[in-house]
Amino acid sequence: MIETDILVVGAGPVGSIAAKHAALGGADVILIDKKSEIGSPKRCAEGASKEGLKFLGIEPQPIWAINEIKGIRLVAPDGTDVWLNDEIKLPEAGYILERKIFDKHIAMDAGRAGAEIKVKTLAKSLKKEEDSYIVSCESMGEEFEIRAKILIGADGSESHIGRWAGLKTGIKPKDMESGAQFEMCNVKMEDYSVLEFYFGSVAPGGYVWIFPKGEDIANVGLGVIQSKTDRSAYDYLVDFVRTCPATKNAKIVELNVGGVPVGGMIKDLSDDNILIVGDAASQVIPLTGGGIVSGMTCGMFAGEVAAKSIKSGDHSKKQLSEYNKRCKDLLDDKMKKHLKVRNYLESLSDEELNSVATAFQDVKFEEISTTELIKKLVKVSPKALLKLGKLF
C-alpha cells in the first residue's frame, strides 16, 4: 500500500497542472497515467490562447508553441469566406501547440514542484474507506494499491474515476461530438498564420478545422454529432480532405480519433475526498470544442483547493465545494451562452449559412472573439436576433 495526500489520475495538461498546484500547496502528490509516453497520442487540434496561458503562469516555449496565430478564416458551404486578420484586435489569439512536447512540459513542471509521476500505470478500480480512497493499480505486470486522502479524476471524456465514485459524469449522445483528425503535410493554405473553419453539412452538428503547424503542415479535423448522421466522423473527414483545395494533395502522417463532450460542465464536480477535472467534468467550451485552457484553469483550481483541504484536515464535500464555485464562476455563464449559440448554428441549413457569410462581407469587426462574432451574427441574421438577441 502506497500512502499519499493526493492522487491525480491522468497526466494530460489538466491533471498535470492540478498535481503541480497541489504540490506547490504543500501536499504529497502522486500523478499517474496509463500511457507509457505522456502526450501521445494527441487527442486535440492543439490550439491555446495567449491570454489563457498567461493566466496559468505558463511562458510559451518555441519548442512547443510552434506557430503563432494572427487571424481566422470562416468558410460557408458555398465557399464564401470571411477573413479576420491581425488588423483587428485579437483577444483570443494564441498558438498552435505541439502537444506531445507541451504535455510533457506541464508534467515536468508538476515533477519539479514535488509531485511523484508514475507512467504506464493503470487505475483498475477504487473503493472508499473511511476518509480516503484506495485505488487499485497495475504497472508493468505489478499490482498495487494507492491510498489517497483526496482523489482527482483527470482521466478524460471516457472517465472511469467519477463513475466509480458515484458521481454523475455520464454524457448524453447529443452532447458528445465524435472527432477525427489527420496531421498532414503538403497542405496548401493561403496564410499559415490563420485558422480555417468550415461549416455546414461537411460536419453535421460541428465544423471542420484546419490548424496550421508551420509551412505546409496542419491538423485537419472535424467533429460531428453522431445522432445527426449515420456516417462516421472519419468518413466525413476523408470526403473533406479529398475535395478541399487546401488538402486534396496533402499527405496523412497521423490519425487521431475520440469523443469531445460539448454539452456543458457536469453539475457535481466534487464529493467527499474527490474532485473531477477537465474533459472528465465536461469542462469544454460547447461552441468551439476547445478545452485546453478551460480545463487547465479548473485543474489549477482543483490543485489549490485540494492542497488547502489537506492542510485543514477536512476533506469533505463541503470543504471541497470551493472548487465547484470557482469553476462555475469561471465557466457557467459562458457555457450557457455558447450552448444556445451552438444549438442555433446546428439549426441552420447550408443556404442559411451561405446567407450569413454573404452578409458578413460588409461587416466591420473591431476584434476577433467568440463574443464579437455572435454579436455581429445577431445583427446580420433575423433568425439569430430572434433566438440569441437576449444573450448580450
Phi and psi angles of residue 213, each rounded to the nearest 5 degrees, phi first: -105, 0
Check if the beta carbon of residue 280 is closer than 8 Å to that of residue 331: no
- With cell 483541504, the residue in question is 309
- What pLDDT, on a 0 to 100 scale, did the predictor assign at position 67? 96
- What pLDDT, on a 0 to 100 scale, did the predictor assign at position 346? 87
Per-residue pLDDT of the chain (392 residues; tens, 9 = 90+): 999 999 999 999 999 999 999 999 999 999 999 999 999 888 789 999 999 999 999 999 999 999 999 888 999 999 999 888 766 555 557 899 999 999 999 999 999 999 999 999 999 999 999 999 999 999 999 999 999 999 999 999 888 999 999 998 888 888 899 999 999 999 999 999 999 999 999 999 999 999 999 989 999 999 999 889 999 999 999 999 999 999 999 999 999 999 999 999 999 999 999 999 999 999 999 888 889 999 999 999 999 999 999 999 999 999 999 999 999 999 999 898 888 888 888 888 999 999 989 988 888 877 667 777 778 888 888 777 777 766 65
Whose CA is closest to 179, among 210, 155, 203? 203
Superfamily of domain 68-93+173-261: D-Amino Acid Oxidase, subunit A, domain 2 (3.30.9.10)
Q: How many Å from the N-terminal Cα to the C-terminal Cα in the chain?
A: 54
SS3 (DSSP) at 182:
strand
Whose CA is closest to 344, among 283, 282, 390, 277? 390
- What pLDDT, on a 0 to 100 scale, did the predictor assign at position 360? 87
Exposed, middle or buried, 57 (CB in 10 Å: 0-12/13-18/19+)?
exposed
The cell for 172 is 448524453
Whose CA is closest to 221, among 43, 39, 14, 76? 43
- What pLDDT, on a 0 to 100 scale, did the predictor assign at position 42? 86
Integer Cα distance of 225 and 182 in angstroms: 19
Integer Cα distance of 340 and 388 in angstroms: 7
Q: Which residues fall within 8 angstroms of residue 111, CB to CB, at 6 or more apart?
A: 117
Integer Cα distance of 294 and 317 in angstroms: 22
The sign of the dihedral angle between the CA atoms of 260, 262, 265, 266 is: negative
Check if the beta carbon of residue 331 is closer than 8 Å to that of residue 311: no
Query: 2-46+99-172+263-338 adopts what CATH topology?
Result: FAD/NAD(P)-binding domain (3.50.50)
Burial 14-29 (b: 16+ CB within 10 A, else e): bbbbbbbbbbbbebbb
Q: In Å, what is the CA distance from 68 to each residue of 90, 193, 204, 296, 392? A: 12, 6, 29, 20, 30
Q: Where are the domains of the chain?
A: 2-46+99-172+263-338, 68-93+173-261, 343-391
How far does Cα 34 stand from its chain's mean position?
19
244, amino acid identity: C
- What pLDDT, on a 0 to 100 scale, did the predictor assign at position 380? 82
The cell for 372 is 464579437
